[in-house]
Amino acid sequence: LPFLVPQLMQRPISLFRAQALASLAEVLGTSFYRYIENVTRAFIEAMEREAVAGNGPRRQEFLQHAAQLNANLRQDAVHALVATLCEVIQSPRAKAHNHDKLAAVELLERFAKESKCDLVHNLESMLHAALLLFAAKEAEVLKHAVMAAANVMKLVPKNKNAEYIKQVAAILREVTHDISANQIIFELPGLNVRGALRPFIQLLTEGLMKGNENTKELAANTIGTFVSLTAPTALNPYVMLITGPLIRMASENFSEGVKVAILQTLALLLARCGPRLKAFFSALQTTFRKSLHHKSPEVREKTVEGLATMMKHNARVDNVIQDLVSQVRREEDAHVKGSLLTAIHRVMEHKSTATKVSSPLVSSLIATVGPLLSVQQSMVRTAAKKTFDTSVKYLEGEAEIKAAMAKYGGRGDDNDLSSDSEA
């Protein structure tokens, strides 16, 4: 074998010699790792050559022989094979086609599925290479990159979830921020391939539900990244899988960072797939209602954003506005009252939503907000002014609008206030 293998792997490799190497796969010794890089590159070149020539069947034969050889590799050759495949995938594109990268990712896909070796120490490299190709333009490359990533994700040990969440988040940042081309990718083509999201959503929801607070926060933020990088049509099948765990975690007493990450991701989901979340509107309203009273300004800010986005798709606007108005009347904390008023303002600033509010409720809203235009706390006064301005035009009839303006229209001007206490 030490004399035969170098002869068989001479490039360009023929189909006969490729078949001979594959047939020897089960008896190749531990010393074969010395040849694995050259053999792998020989197979990739052969597949690339046949693809350029338009000879699909011959290319498939080379692929099959290479996959058979790789599946029977011993443990000492694993790192060399993975390193070679990753190097081909990650090398700068210097050709008008991606046939070499396609060949490499197909071999990676097959190896992750068929190898009997322990691949745990090479999984990060394999996942990195597969995810990099999610930015490719060729449909065939995308398909096999998705399948390779799915096969790799099946091998991730359960006790390593937190590590792989960090890895996935880092790779997404790398893929979407192409420094060399000075551009940011706002939608990742590979994520729009059918089934692409499933293994990542499983990893992230597991981290969200069972990880420590740092893992929960990173998992929620990374779900948000996937949501923002995926087309709504491709995201729709996963909405139920994502939203339920997020709402359950939002109701728990976690740190500000976790809360902000979850609420931000819920707002993203509502913005991209709002109608698909209708089954969750009642639970979301409860979640937002509670979060509007959180001590953190950022938590309340993200809550307002999510609530305003949800109301664009919710026909039951009266119930929500009535609840918010009632809370404004009862709330004594100036900061929370300001957030409640801002939430009303954000809902009412969209005409399509504001016109669904009944006239009696608009009158009640103005009667509640009007006196707040001259309170001492500036954050309440400012929020009340915005809410008044966006809502008064929806009063019934010109006479009622003029009456409200005459009664409250001169209030809310900071220059007319001698005191500006923040108490």
Do 193 and 151 contact (CB within 8 A), yes or no?
no
The yes-or-no verdict on residue 422 having pLDDT over 90 is no
Element (H, E) at 178: strand 177-178
DSSP per-residue string spanning 227-241: HHHS-HHHHGGGHHH
List Cβ neighbours of 3 (8 Å cut-off, separation of 6 or more). Answer: none
Q: Say what percent of the chain tops pLDDT 70.
A: 92
Q: Rounded to 5 degrees, what are φ and ψ at 258?
A: -65, -45
**pLDDT at residue 412 in the model:** 53
> Residue 372 gets which letter from DSSP?
G
The yes-or-no verdict on residue 417 having pLDDT over 80 is no
**pLDDT at residue 65 in the model:** 95
Here the tokens at position 186 are: 């706002």
Give the integer Cα–Cα distance in Å for 191 and 265: 17
Here the tokens at position 222 are: 């990374």
Which of 164, 161, 189, 184 has its CA nearest to residue 174? 184
Classify 95 as helix, strand or coil. coil
* Helix (H) and strand (E) counts in the chain: 22, 2
Outline where 34-160 has alpha helix (H): 36-52, 56-71, 75-90, 99-114, 123-132, 139-153
> Residue 24 gets which letter from DSSP?
T
Say which amino acid occupies 266. Answer: L
Give the integer Cα–Cα distance in Å for 422 and 183: 44
> Binning pLDDT at 50, 70 and 90, where does residue 413 land?
low
Average pLDDT over residues 116-128: 95
> Residue 183 gets which letter from DSSP?
E
**pLDDT at residue 128 in the model:** 96
Give the integer Cα–Cα distance in Å for 52 and 54: 5
Do 328 and 367 contact (CB within 8 A), yes or no?
no
Here the tokens at position 343 are: 């939430």
Write the CA distances from 5 to 161, 317, 331, integer angstroms: 40, 74, 81
Give the residues across from 72 on adjacent strands: none
Task: State the first-to-last Cα distance of the chain, in angstroms, to the nearest integer.
Answer: 86
Q: Rounded to 5 degrees, what are φ and ψ at 113?
A: -85, -35
The yes-or-no verdict on residue 74 having pLDDT over 60 is yes
pLDDT tens for 260-314 read 999 999 999 999 999 999 999 999 999 999 999 999 999 999 999 999 999 999 9
pLDDT tens for 204-238 read 999 999 999 999 999 999 999 999 999 999 999 99
Higher pLDDT pick, 241 / 419: 241
Going 301 to 306 to 309 to 312, the CA torsion angle's sign is negative
> Residue 350 gets which letter from DSSP?
S
> Binning pLDDT at 50, 70 and 90, where does residue 94 land?
low
Write the CA distances from 228 to 52, 53, 198, 257, 391, integer angstroms: 36, 39, 16, 19, 32
Here the tokens at position 288 are: 């937002």
Average pLDDT over residues 323-339: 96
List Cβ neighbours of 335 (8 Å cut-off, separation of 6 or more). Answer: 297, 300, 379
DSSP per-residue string spanning 401-419: HHHHHHHHTT---GGG-S-
The number of residues in the chain equals 423
> Binning pLDDT at 50, 70 and 90, where does residue 184 land?
low
The yes-or-no verdict on residue 12 having pLDDT over 50 is yes
SS3 content of the chain, % helix, strand, coil (to 5): 75, 0, 25
Here the tokens at position 58 are: 């011959």
The yes-or-no verdict on residue 414 having pLDDT over 50 is no
How many alpha carbons fall within 13 Å on the CB side of residue 343? 34
